[in-house]
Amino acid sequence: MIKILLTTLCIAYLAIACEAKCKVPSVGVELDNNTASGVWYGHDIYGPPTIGDGSCFVTEWSVNNDSKIEVHDSWKDHGGKEVNVDSAEVDSETEEGVTSYTFNIGDDNVKFWFLLADEHSMAAYSCDNKTENANVFIMSREQNRHHAHLQHIEYKVRKLVHLPHHKHIVHQTHC
């Protein structure tokens, strides 16, 4: 959101662009720490598989004493093995009204742009500068997949960025 959305965001590679040859989106909302905190369920991931087509993608967000976001991602791979990744916000910056967040995921710092974020839904965009692969992550507070709600989020996101071709639906039914 994701190398993973964060990896959650990288899982979190939620968004369209990074630096270098990636295209930086013209939208990036500033996150409210209270709104972002808590449990999120990843439902749709656009772009190359960073967490695969596994199941049970859950990400838990919290805010540390320095008012930085910390993320714990977990999901099950194809073999049913649980994978866990922790990431922390390194930096955030706002330029011309567009806010981006950089998270340390594994050995990499990955930049994310939040396309929308409210108390019910979140969508993030990211791009891997090395591979130039963009990812968009769509998450919800609800574990169950509400098709109409997710379609509405996708509709909003399509107005903001080009969605990568590959769509991965994360199954949450047996978590």
CATH number for the domain spanning 56: value is: 2.40.128.20
Instruction: Write out pLDDT tens, residues 84-110.
Output: 888 888 889 999 889 999 888 888 888
Q: How confident is the model at residue 5 (pLDDT cuts 50, 70, 90)?
A: very low
Give the integer Cα–Cα distance in Å for 23 and 52: 24
- Quote the pLDDT of residue 53: 57
User: Per the domain annotation, does 125 fall within a domain?
Assistant: yes
Secondary element (H or E) of residue 153: helix 147-158
Q: What is the mean pLDDT of residues 112-122?
A: 92
Q: Shortest CA distance to 123 belongs to which of 7, 42, 37, 20?
A: 42
Give the integer Cα–Cα distance in Å for 170 and 58: 10
Provide the residue range defining the domain that includes 87: 33-169
User: Per the domain annotation, does 12 fall within a domain?
Assistant: no
Higher pLDDT, 3 or 133: 133
**How many domains does the structure of the chain reveal?**
1
User: Per the domain annotation, does 15 fall within a domain?
Assistant: no
Residue 90, both tokens: 């390194």
Give the integer Cα–Cα distance in Å for 106 and 116: 25
User: Per the domain annotation, does 104 fall within a domain?
Assistant: yes
**In the predicted model, is pLDDT for residue 62 greater than 90?**
yes
Q: What percent of the chain shows pLDDT beyond 90?
A: 27
The mean pLDDT of the chain is: 80
Residue 53, both tokens: 């087509």
User: Per the domain annotation, does 73 fall within a domain?
Assistant: yes
Q: How confident is the model at residue 18 (pLDDT cuts 50, 70, 90)?
A: very low
User: Per the domain annotation, does 67 fall within a domain?
Assistant: yes
**In the predicted model, is pLDDT for residue 114 greater than 90?**
yes
Q: How confident is the model at residue 21 (pLDDT cuts 50, 70, 90)?
A: very low
User: Per the domain annotation, does 6 fall within a domain?
Assistant: no
User: Per the domain annotation, does 19 fall within a domain?
Assistant: no
